[in-house]
Structure 1
């Protein structure tokens, strides 16, 4: 099987995580006056994402994305360079207008993920964040131009890397979404 590139931080071998990781500072790609965003907590649900909306570094087929509580997100420097990529989207991705890196993406409307912000942990200055645990929206890489005939190889490579591939989210997060919806609709007790 050819070595299929997924994302630089995954392909190069992920460094061991630090159980004491409690957040850090995300930095965009600008060489002068970069945007800096502090995440004042650990991240959760880190995964490789194949959706066509997430920011990916040059040459990456997948992004690496996790969540943190929005209350723990603070823009430290050069926030005037940030703009929302798509105001109609569920995830309000705030990207640097100069380099294009998505810095954080809060969910603000009524949704199971309301109160969470999506972040790209490879942008942390610090090391030790949790490694990705699965791959989501794998089929979506086709929407970005990936050859559909190569998808079996992509899924095999993800499994080889210890990232179970899903064409949505992993079962735990899908259960969480379904439970939230059932409670909201009165099918399950609050």
Structure 2
């Protein structure tokens, strides 16, 4: 029975359903002194558990919880002087607190299907009600972070128990968005 497998503290007790009327809130880093605060307008989209080795994860978490929001909905409101981009070469420009390490927002600024979106960790909202995760992405990547391959059947079983269909890339909807963007850019697809 895979239910003993830890995924993420916000998910291990079950996926909490979001509220249809969630209208945004404030992400707060983990610092007790001068926490970084980032205001987010509106709800999040494509919320998921992510197993990639780049996303910020709280201590003990195997997966992150990550969603997107339009870049224009993101405003640093307090202590932005503590933020620094983790990897300037990465597609997602993850702005992390230099004191506690929490990734606060990550815009996609270069030419890509996700340009104009910011990746955020909604469990950092001080308010509840954000759209719940609906799938798990980059599941096999947790092996790169130290999960033994022999544990993967249990991990996938637990993700399925939580209602988070596991994918070893993104879900089909997001993969279609990327493929459509690539095909349009290459000129092989004129209409979507």
Give the corresponding residue for 1:42.
43
Give the corresponding residue for 2:93.
92
Matches within 5 A, 1:168-187: 168-187=169-188
Cα separation, 2, equivalents of 1:182 and 1:132: 28
Give the corresponding residue for 2:110.
109
Give the corresponding residue for 1:151.
152
Deviation at 1:189, TM superposition (A): 1.1
SS of equivalent residue, structure 1 residue 129: coil
RMSD of the TM alignment (CA)? 0.8
SS of equivalent residue, structure 1 residue 19: coil
Greater Cα shift, 165-174 or 5-14: 5-14
TM-score, with structure 2 as normaliser: 0.97
Give a deviation string over 1:8-44, Cα, whole Å, max 9, x none: 1111233331100111100000001000000112100
Cα separation, 2, equivalents of 1:34 and 1:75: 11
What is the number of residues matched between the two proteins? 190
Give the corresponding residue for 1:167.
168
Gaps of 5+ in 2: none
Gaps of 5+ in 1: none
Give a deviation string over 1:131-164, Cα, whole Å, max 9, x none: 1000000000000011111101100110011000
SS of equivalent residue, structure 2 residue 183: helix
